[in-house]
A and B are shown apart, each in its own frame.
Chain A
Amino acid sequence: GQQLNQSPQSMFIQEGEDVSMNCTSSSIFNTWLWYKQDPGEGPVLLIALYKAGELTSNGRLTAQFGITRKDSFLNISASIPSDVGIYFCAGQFMDSNYQLIWGAGTKLIIKP
């Protein structure tokens, strides 16, 4: 089946540092979504991307839809303690109208 490779698996950073994570696939995707999940909660949508090359910001978060349609990255600038959590990429690939394929997640931990 289709797979998304998300990296890194986890990140330990200092407060104030910038963060970058990405997802890649061998398949072409129509849509990329980035979610954050806190423990015991459902994923919360951060950014949605619909066009190749699209660059979208949401506050300190910026995400881009790769030109090849096979990858996307998420950047967080000047991280703060509440950024801690697990970040997931999810994509809708060309052969499906409804199904999102999910990455394995990037766990963000901020060192005190």
Chain B
Amino acid sequence: EPEVTQTPSHQVTQMGQEVILRCVPISNHLYFYWYRQILGQKVEFLVSFYNNEISEKSEIFDDQFSVERPDGSNFTLKIRSTKLEDSAMYFCASSEAEVEKLFFGSGTQLSVL
């Protein structure tokens, strides 16, 4: 069964450093998303991406965040200068159509020290 894959599974970084989280969405999907989940809290929407551009973003997704689809298979989330409060599990998701049946990866646990 096709699945969304994310790497790395864990990322530890120092405050102020840049991190790039990587995702390979399901191959025939057209819509891509990043969500995050702080330990014990709700899943929060960050950004959606379609047709090589951001289609919607939340207040969390400020200028420190960016997304990119550098080739036909990868979808990345970059945090330019990490803060302590960026520590969370980051989930990539993809879907064939808008907000229809989002399929999630296993997540990248980001720890900012």
Binding site for B on A (CB under 8 A): 30-31, 33, 35, 40-45, 48, 50, 88, 90, 92, 96-105
Stretch at the interface among B14-22, B62-70, B80-88, B99-107: B99-107
A30–B58 CA distance with the chains assembled, in angstroms = 19
A30–B97 CA distance with the chains assembled, in angstroms = 14
Residues of B within 8 A of A99 (CB): 45, 48, 56, 58, 99
Whether B33 pairs with A98 at a CB distance below 8 angstroms is yes
Residues of B within 8 A of A33 (CB): 101-102
Pick from B43, B50, B107 the residue with the most CB of A within 10 Å: B43
A104–B37 CA distance with the chains assembled, in angstroms = 11
Whether B43 pairs with A90 at a CB distance below 8 angstroms is yes
A31–B55 CA distance with the chains assembled, in angstroms = 18
Which 4 A/B pairs are nearest by Cβ-Cβ distance?
A42-B104, A98-B48, A98-B56, A102-B43
A26–B107 CA distance with the chains assembled, in angstroms = 31
In the complex, what's the smallest C-beta–C-beta distance from A38 to chain B, in angstroms? 10
Whether A41 pairs with B45 at a CB distance below 8 angstroms is no
In the complex, what's the smallest C-beta–C-beta distance from B81 to chain A, in angstroms? 25
Whether A42 pairs with B102 at a CB distance below 8 angstroms is no
Whether B100 pairs with A31 at a CB distance below 8 angstroms is yes
Residues of A within 8 A of B4 (CB): 42
Given contacts A98-B55, A99-B56, A99-B58, contact A42 B45 (CB under 8 A): no
Given contacts A43-B91, A90-B43, contact A97 B56 (CB under 8 A): yes
CB contact between A100 and one of B50, B99, B105, B106 (< 8 Å): that residue: B99
A72–B86 CA distance with the chains assembled, in angstroms = 31
Given contacts A98-B33, A99-B45, contact A41 B107 (CB under 8 A): yes
In the complex, what's the smallest C-beta–C-beta distance from B91 to chain A, in angstroms? 5
In the complex, besides A35-B104, A98-B48, 7 extra interface pairs with C-beta distance below 8 angstroms are: A42-B4, A43-B91, A44-B104, A92-B99, A98-B33, A100-B102, A101-B45
